[in-house]
A and B are shown apart, each in its own frame.
Chain A
Amino acid sequence: MKATTIILLVIAGCIFCSSVFITPSSAQRRAQAFSHNTPEHKTGRYADCNVCHQLPTSNWVSPRRDKLPPFPDVINFPNPHRQGAGNICFACHTNAAFSGGGVFCGTCHTVPSMRARAVLPFPVQGRARQFNTIFPHDVHQDLIARNERYADVAVAHFVKASYSPSPKLTADDPYSCAVCHQTTVQIPKNGPRKLTNLKALSDVAADTFERPIKAEFFKGSPDGHASCFNCHYQYQYLPKGKQNCAGCHELTRPYIERRTLERYSTKFDHSRTGHVENDCAACHVRITQNSKVELMKDADVPIAACWRCHATQEEGRSRRILLDEIAARDSSIEKKEAPFQCTYCHTSAIGRYEIPASHRKP
């Protein structure tokens, strides 16, 4: 028994040692993501992304993973084996491919071996992202979302008179926010945003929905080059000195992209009458001056935008819902009852918290 334990420990030790000390090269121990953060990978001649990456890659005409019609794009790993590659990997990692059983090859290839042929789909899903996307909303708002519209009637025709102030916008207007943010087809994974400065007054209760959550509640964001290359193919119109990949991609600490859309007001329906005919900028007032999304720490829609229609003294539940729910909360606390949860816009995960001062005085 004792001998068996010793043998097992020795075998375990050997396996551990062999995995750690395959070769002296760190790259050879890694069959995972290539790191753009390694100093040698971002300085000298490698500071220029084009040394490794081609735009477009030679396989751009192939059918795409996202089922979009093919367009010139970067959809493959840099190829260090092609003629004229100038030893882009093997200038430093000469021995890496010939030792350690070809672990190094697993960075790009499906099988980490010297005989590897097939490459992993690029970019590899599930691997940590190494770049943030730079998208100045303010500049784009000025340019692409800045068109004046005319009433859709011909001059000198008799038309029905009305007091409608202006032509209505449609969600599929080509040059509006919908260029990038389209209504989702399926309900995306979603959840409540974290509230840090407020105190929860009660436990989470079961949610009820007057209007069940549907895909139309949400808007998506671009996840690829398709919507950018319309204007920025081959780095067109990027700022001077940034006419390369770095014009849009900013190197950052590796992070796993969260796929969950976090909302304060999960019950907000973009497609509802009263919301859908409004210009996005009527409520999303902060985004039109935002040059970097990461700098926006709070909700893009200030409560003042909701107040204009939902905190009036007019008839109708929705017209005064904000005032009613605040009054109901205050009343429940005054009567020392279980705190009223705000449920018109919020799920219980948010509606059970203290009412922020901004909601009372926007």
Chain B
Amino acid sequence: MCLKAVCVFLGFFVSVHSVASAQAEPAVGSIVVRAKNVRGSQRAKIPLSRKRFYLFAGGLADNKDLVDSIRAAEITSRDCFYNSLKASPCFISWLNEGNCESPFCRAIKREDIKGVKEFESAYAKGLVAYRNKPDLALSWMINNLPPDLTSGYYRQQRSFVEKITASRKPLQTILSTAAGAEATFAGVPVTGKSTKYLVSNILPVEIDKKAYTWACEIDVQAAKPSNLILALPLDPKRKNCVLVEKELKTCSVEACNKQ
């Protein structure tokens, strides 16, 4: 009798434990964000490459405040930002050549220095600081550029994102790939049959003279990648996606007269 009771208890314990451990691993899905026709006049350029996307809980209706903040936000274009810092035309032109947002974006080559006053002065400073070692002065040039010119635009963008997401924190953020401009959110929790999420780039993407921000809702199912297509232009019949389009203020950039 006693043995039977112990066996029943053990059987009950094992079944409860197995149910508990089965529940321990929650259902998850994934979201693959892809672009469709998101191109500007320069066909070779991939505007959505290396862009950060943010994942929020809930659909469009749940994130109405967030979408309203995106709509209301003031945008400063890259050219206007560097113009406001009084960067030289040749410095701005060097950034534009590589479609760079900051000098961290690509290596500064020796032939780039001449004619760009910011590079010339940073290089000269480096030669003094690093005991006249030209290779060091070149490869460490970022250290000797004015901080506003190097990280100022990034800091401005970051504070823009922090302001927009102040009341609603993203669950995940992900950077899109360079070549395919594709971003994958993995391990997205799913409760029930499907769960609604919102994906947005928050920071407007500059394409030609306009800035674009997508905020799209998606139903995520467990064990199944859900594809989210960001299109340009957006199909007006598509109800689960918002595209905020803004004209960019133009800031005249003088031509670089590099000898």
Contacts and interface: CB of A to CB of B under 8 A. Distances in A.
Contacts of B154: 142-143
B173 A304 contact: no
Contacts of B27: 361
A174 interface: yes
Contacts of A151: 44
B49 interface: yes
A263 to B, nearest CB: 19
Interface stretch (A78-86, A162-170, A185-193): A162-170
Given A175-B106, A282-B180, A142 B139 contact: no
A304 B99 contact: no
A278 B182 CA distance: 11
A236 B143 contact: yes
Contacts of A237: 147, 150-151
Given A61-B131, A304-B184, A150 B44 contact: yes
A147 B98 contact: yes
B177 interface: yes
A11 B159 CA distance: 71
A247 to B, nearest CB: 14
Interface in B109-141: 129-131, 133, 135-136, 139-140
Contacts of A72: 129-130, 136
A153 interface: yes
Among B129, B179, B186, which residue has the most Cβ atoms of chain A within 10 A? B179
A230 B139 contact: yes
Interface in A65-88: 69, 71-72
A169 B222 CA distance: 33
A279 B180 contact: yes
Interface stretch (A22-30, A118-126, A284-292): A284-292
A360 B224 CA distance: 11
Contact of B101 (A146, A281, A288, A361): A146
Nearest to B158: A142
Among A61, A153, A279, A361, which residue has the most Cβ atoms of chain B within 10 A? A279
Given A302-B187, A361-B222, A166 B140 contact: no
B176 interface: yes
Given A174-B107, A175-B106, A302 B46 contact: no
A361 B26 CA distance: 11
Contacts of A143: 102, 104, 151, 154
B143 A148 contact: no
Given A147-B106, A237-B150, A285-B186, A142 B143 contact: no
B186 A150 contact: no
Given A142-B52, A148-B45, A149-B49, A281 B140 contact: no
A148 B47 contact: yes
Contact of A305 (B129, B140, B184): B184
A304 B176 CA distance: 16
Interface in A260-302: 277-279, 281-282, 285-286, 288-289, 302
Contacts of A141: 175
B225 interface: yes
A229 B143 CA distance: 8
Given A169-B179, A233-B143, A361-B223, A175 B174 contact: no
Given A138-B173, A143-B102, A166 B142 contact: no
Interface string A326-356: 0000000000000000000000000000000
Given A150-B99, A304-B30, A236 B178 contact: no
Interface string A220-246: 000000000111111011000000000
A174 B130 contact: no
Interface string B69-93: 0000000000000000000000000
Interface string A154-168: 000000000001111
Given A147-B99, A166-B180, A285-B186, A231 B104 contact: yes
B250 interface: no
Nearest to A147: B105
Given A279-B179, A357-B25, A147 B186 contact: no
20 contacts: A146-B101, A147-B99, A147-B100, A147-B178, A149-B178, A149-B179, A167-B179, A169-B178, A175-B106, A229-B143, A231-B142, A236-B147, A237-B150, A282-B177, A285-B183, A288-B173, A302-B30, A358-B28, A362-B223, A362-B225
Given A231-B104, A231-B142, A281-B176, 7 more contacts: A72-B130, A147-B50, A150-B45, A175-B106, A231-B143, A277-B179, A278-B179
Interface of A: 61, 69, 71-72, 138, 141-151, 153, 165-169, 174-176, 229-234, 236-237, 277-279, 281-282, 285-286, 288-289, 302, 304-305, 307-308, 357-358, 360-362
